[in-house]
Amino acid sequence: MTVLIVLFLVVGVLFNVLGTVALYRFPDVFTRLHGATKCTTFGSIFTSGAVILYGVQKMLATGDGRFITLMVHVAIAILALLITNPTGAHAIARAAHRSGVLPKMAVIDRLAEDEKKKGGVSA
């Protein structure tokens, strides 16, 4: 069980480091958001999974029911993360596009096309 916990932690840290690299290496705000959001979401899931496994290990070893509370709180945190990370990234990307920051290498810009169809302001 300890090996599995360490493996989850290593994978989680690896994903979080890749998210940091995405912030530095990608060319525009949209690709940076995409890379960082995906990687940090997966990294946080794996590190939280390590905490849940640790709780299971301690609960089985001691028979203490307090670790169930820990695992439930971590599961709720994972659920909140799965909802807020993509939603926040989408909101930031949409605000960036509306403020005039366009994707550098996009072949198709559906948001700009939709704005033109509606007769609204397009960047």
d(CA 98, CA 102): 9
Within-domain flag for 6: yes
Question: Does residue 98 form part of some domain?
Answer: yes
Domain count of the chain?
A: 1
Instruction: Determine the pLDDT at residue 120.
Output: 58
Assessment of whether the complete model's pTM goes beyond 0.85 = no
Reported as a single tens digit per residue, the pLDDT across 99-110 is 888 877 766 777
What domain range includes position 16? 2-118
For residue 38, what pLDDT is reported?
92
- Residue 121: the pLDDT is 56
- Look at residue 91 and tell me whether its pLDDT is greater than 70: yes
Q: What DSSP string describes 8-49?
A: HHHHHHHHHHHHHHHHHHSSSHHHHHHHHHHHHHHHHHHHHH
Domain-embedded: residue 8: yes
Average pLDDT (79-95) is 93
Supply the mean pLDDT for the chain. Answer: 88
Residue 123 located in a structural domain: no
Asked, for residue 56, whether it belongs to a domain, the answer is yes
